[in-house]
Structure formats: C-alpha cells, structure tokens
Amino acid sequence: MTAPLPELDPVIHAQVRLRVVAALSVLREGDQMAFPRLQELLGLTGGNLSVHLRKLEDAEYIVVTKTHRGRTPTTLLSLSRRGRLAFDEYTAAVRALLDHVGSEETP
C-alpha cells in the first residue's frame, strides 16, 4: 500500500500568495520588504496584492508593519516563523508529490 499523497496548504497554493511567500522567503529572519517593492517585483496592482496579503496575514504567515519614513506612511512585510514553516512544509509536499508522480511513470 502506498502512502497517501500530501495535502497542499490552500492558503499558500493560490498562485499570487505562493509568489508572495516565495519572494519573502529569501529575506533573512528579521528583514522586511516594503509593499511597493513587493508590488513591483511581482507585477501586481496594489489592490490585488493587498487582498492576498490579508489572507496571508489572517493565517499568521506574514507580519505587516505599518510605520512612517519621514511623513510618508510605509508598509513593511516579512514572513513570520509560522509562515516560514508553512512554506517549508508546502515545498516538501510539492517535492513529495512530484517524486510520487515520477515513480508512477517508471515501469
């Protein structure tokens, strides 16, 4: 009997949220990325990015820090520890799924 296929985290699995988490995962722990930089990097509208960030924030996968640089409001983003763990588990599940499919194709 073969092991069941791994479940993919539905919060991360949506394409835009996967791209957000992947982009933030390259930051060292404690580093943050400004909202406009992430928006530019991913080529998203502000509204679209905001909707996906809210879902990630509700799942406690990201930390959103609102501050000011001078008089300009600034939103900074980072992955939480929970978000890093969820992304690690997600990538492991994808690898396991691909390994499973690869082993099924081999006679």
**What is the per-residue pLDDT across 43-56, written as a single tens digit (0 to 9) for each?**
999 999 999 999 99
**What is the per-residue pLDDT across 14-28, written as a single tens digit (0 to 9) for each?**
999 999 999 999 999
Parallel, antiparallel, or unpaired for β 72-79 and 33-34?
Answer: antiparallel
**E-assigned strands of 20-87?**
33-34, 62-69, 72-79
Mean of the per-residue pLDDT values for the chain?
92
Contact status, residue 92 vs residue 9, Cβ threshold 8 Å: no
Domain residue ranges of the chain, discontinuous segments joined by + = 10-98
Fold of 10-98: Arc Repressor Mutant, subunit A (1.10.10)
Closest CA to 41 of 23, 60, 58: 23
